[in-house]
Amino acid sequence: MTTAAPAGLRAASLTAVLVGLGSMLGFGRDLLLARTFGADSATDAFLVAWMIPETSAPLLIEGMAFLMVPLFSRAAERAGDVRNLVAATLPHMSVALLGLTALTAAGAPWLVALLAPGIADPELAVRCMRLTSVTILMFGMAGYLSAALRTHHAFGPPAAISVAYNLGIIAVLWVFQDHGVSAAAAGVALGAVGMVLIQAPAFVKRLGRPRRPTRRMLLPLGAFLPIAAYTLERQGQVFVERFAGSSLAEGSISHLNYAQKIAQVPMILSLIVATVTFPHLARAITAGDGPTVRRRLTDDLVTAAATVLLATAVLVVCAPEIVRLLLQHGAFTDADTEATALIMRVYSLGLLGQAVVGVVCRAFFCGTRPTWYPALAMAAGLATTIALATPPWGTTGIAAANAAGITLSAAILFAGLRGPAIGLSVRSVARPAACLLLAGALAATAGWGTHSLLAGLPPAAVLALTAAATAAVFCAAAALTGTEEITTMIRIRGRA
Residue 465 lies in a domain: no
Report how far residue 58's alpha carbon sits from residue 67's, in angstroms, rounded to the nearest whole number. 12
The model's pTM: 0.76
With 60 as the cut, is the pLDDT of residue 423 above it?
A: yes
The predicted structure's pLDDT at residue 494: 47
Which of these ranges, 47-61, 364-378, 458-472, has the smallest mean pLDDT? Answer: 364-378
Top pLDDT among 365 and 343 is at 343
Least confidently predicted of 102-111, 205-214, 428-437: 205-214
Q: How many domains does the chain have?
A: 1
Q: Does residue 49 sit within a domain? A: yes
Spatial separation of the C-alpha atoms in residues 114 and 357, rounded to whole Å = 28
- How high does pLDDT run on average in the chain? 84
Phi first, then psi: give them for residue 40, nearest 5 degrees.
-145, -165
- Which alpha helices (DSSP H) does 176-248 contain, by range? 181-197, 200-207, 221-245
Q: b or e along 29-56 (b: 16 or more beta carbons within 10 Å of the residue's beta carbon)?
A: bbbbbbebbbbbbbbbbbbbbbbbbbbb
210 falls in which pLDDT band (50, 70, 90)? low
pLDDT category of residue 288 using cuts at 50, 70 and 90: confident
Measuring CA to CA, how many Å separate 65 from each of 132, 138, 353?
22, 15, 21
Domain enclosing residue 66, as ranges: 12-219
**Residue 135, helix vs strand vs coil:** helix
Residue 22, domain member (yes or no): yes
461-to-150, 229, 340, 467 alpha-carbon distances in Å: 40, 45, 20, 10
* Chain centroid to CA 486: 24
For the ranges 130-134, 168-172, 361-365, which has the lowest average pLDDT?
Answer: 361-365
Give domain status of residue 214, yes or no.
yes
Those residues whose C-beta lies under 8 Å from the C-beta of residue 123, and which sit 6 or more positions away, are none
- Please give the share of the chain, as a percent, with pLDDT higher than 70: 89
Write out pLDDT tens, residues 438-492: 999 999 999 999 999 998 899 999 999 999 999 999 999 988 875 555 555 555 4
In this structure, is residue 142 part of a structural domain? yes
Q: What is the DSSP letter of 211?
A: P
Contact 45, 113 (CB under 8 A): no
Burial readout 396-419 (b: 16 or more C-beta within 10 A, e: otherwise): bbbbbbbbbbbbbbbbbbbebbee
- Tell me how far apart the alpha carbons of residues 253 and 250 are, in angstroms, rounded to a whole number: 8
SS3 456: coil
Residue 1 pLDDT grade (very low, low, confident, very high; cuts 50, 70, 90) = very low
Q: Check pLDDT > 70 for residue 369.
A: no
pLDDT of residue 214: 54
pLDDT top residue among 379 and 148: 379
Supply the pLDDT for residue 346: 95
Average pLDDT of the segment spanning 108-114: 93
Q: pLDDT tens digits, residue range 236-264?
A: 888 888 888 888 888 888 899 889 888 88
CA distances from 82 to 62, 78, 205, 385 (A): 20, 8, 13, 41
Residue 160 DSSP SS3: coil
The band of 495, judged by pLDDT with boundaries at 50, 70 and 90, is very low
Q: Evaluate if residue 432 carries a pLDDT over 90.
A: no
| Residue 157 vs residue 268, higher pLDDT | 157
Higher-pLDDT residue of 152, 312: 312
CA distance 408 to 381: 5
Q: What is the pLDDT of residue 10?
A: 67
Evaluate whether residue 84 is within a structural domain.
yes
State the burial class of residue 108 (Cβ atoms within 10 Å of its Cβ: 0-12, 13-18, 19+): buried
Q: Which of 56-60, 135-139, 142-146, 469-473 has the lowest mean pLDDT?
A: 56-60
Q: Is residue 165 part of a domain?
A: yes
State mean pLDDT over 73-96.
Answer: 78
| 150 belongs to a structural domain | yes
Residue 126: CB atoms within 10 A of its CB come to: 20
Q: What is the model's pLDDT at position 490?
A: 54
